[in-house]
Amino acid sequence: MNAGIRACALRRAYFRFALALAPVPVVLWLLGSGQQLTAALLFCTVLTTMMIGTLMPRCALFGRMIKQLPQACNQVLFTIDDGPHPEHTPAILDILDRHHIKALFFLVGERASQHPHLVREIIARGHEIGNHTQTHPAGTFWILHPTRLWREIADCQETLAALCPNHPPRFFRPPAGHHNLFTALIAQALGLRMMLWSARGFDGVLTDVPTITRRIAQRLKPGAIVLIHEGTPVAVEVAQTVAALLTANRFECEPPASLAFSDDEMVVERRASP
């Protein structure tokens, strides 16, 4: 990665961080002036805004993101997070083959390094790989400082690009969908577009397959981006039921590489970043 690009992205990220801290001296001044209520209101407003922008996955307050496909025909994008997995990935690939579905696998760099043959098999079967960070720090990703966040995304990009140099990731998905002030900025500097989802069944925490499938079905429509996970107790069963659901509803699950997400075609929030 070009050192100049990294330095520029980190400068912009730390500038955003400084802007986010700008209300602190104002709050302290208000407290010193005896205006406790005004100080409390300002503090709570800023904190609430930061938490909403960070912890609500589909909130694009801090940068652009893809949340669904262009409303064209009957297409749906099937995305699968947290692989590769030595047992689940081969089984899911077979399921996708049986249903003639192509998917986008968001892979964790460390796991990809442990199972490089599975990464190449995903590509060989006509699917696409995406960047899901190097170590998948789901519990702490949203509070990472810019330098560490850069390493998580850049290291995964380098790992996957080295394994499949002709098919480097185009898209990035943050763990659990949580992102902060710097995530979209750093992903963009690395040539990635941040992609979330529009239909999920919470299979990362639930184990009742009918409930998971029903939740996805309720949000399934043309242009949907469907999310499921590997590495869960019901991963293969969920993949089977969701694939069958897509087939039964006659959705077209095209190869992700054939979907051109130009700036005009992306369905994104275009709010100004702080």
> Tens digits of per-residue pLDDT, 128-184?
999 999 999 988 988 899 999 999 999 999 999 999 999 999 999 999 888 888 999
Q: Kindly report the CATH number assigned to the domain that includes residue 127.
A: 3.20.20.370
Please say if the pLDDT value at position 268 is more than 80: no
In a domain, 60, yes or no: no
Do 49 and 127 fall into the same domain?
Answer: no
Q: What is the pTM of this model?
A: 0.88
Do 105 and 208 fall into the same domain?
Answer: yes
For residues 33-38, average pLDDT: 89
Do 147 and 50 fall into the same domain?
Answer: no
81 is catalytic: yes
From 60-64, 189-193, 204-208, the region with the lowest mean pLDDT? 60-64
CA atoms of 47 and 70, how far apart (whole Å): 34
In a domain, 70, yes or no: no
Do 97 and 162 fall into the same domain?
Answer: yes
136 is catalytic: no
Do 19 and 92 fall into the same domain?
Answer: no
In a domain, 150, yes or no: yes
Which of 85, 99, 136, 229 is labelled catalytic?
229
How many domains in the chain? 2
Q: What pLDDT is attached to residue 78?
A: 97
Residue 161 identity: A
Range of the domain at 245: 77-258
In a domain, 72, yes or no: no
In a domain, 187, yes or no: yes
In a domain, 151, yes or no: yes
Do 245 and 181 fall into the same domain?
Answer: yes
Q: Is 171 helix (H, G, I), strand (E, B) or coil?
A: strand
Do 251 and 207 fall into the same domain?
Answer: yes
Which of 81, 88, 127, 136 is labelled catalytic?
81
Do 25 and 144 fall into the same domain?
Answer: no
Q: DSSP readout, 172-229? A: E--GGG---TTHHHHHHHTT-EEB--SEE--TTT---HHHHHHHHHHT--TT-EEEEE
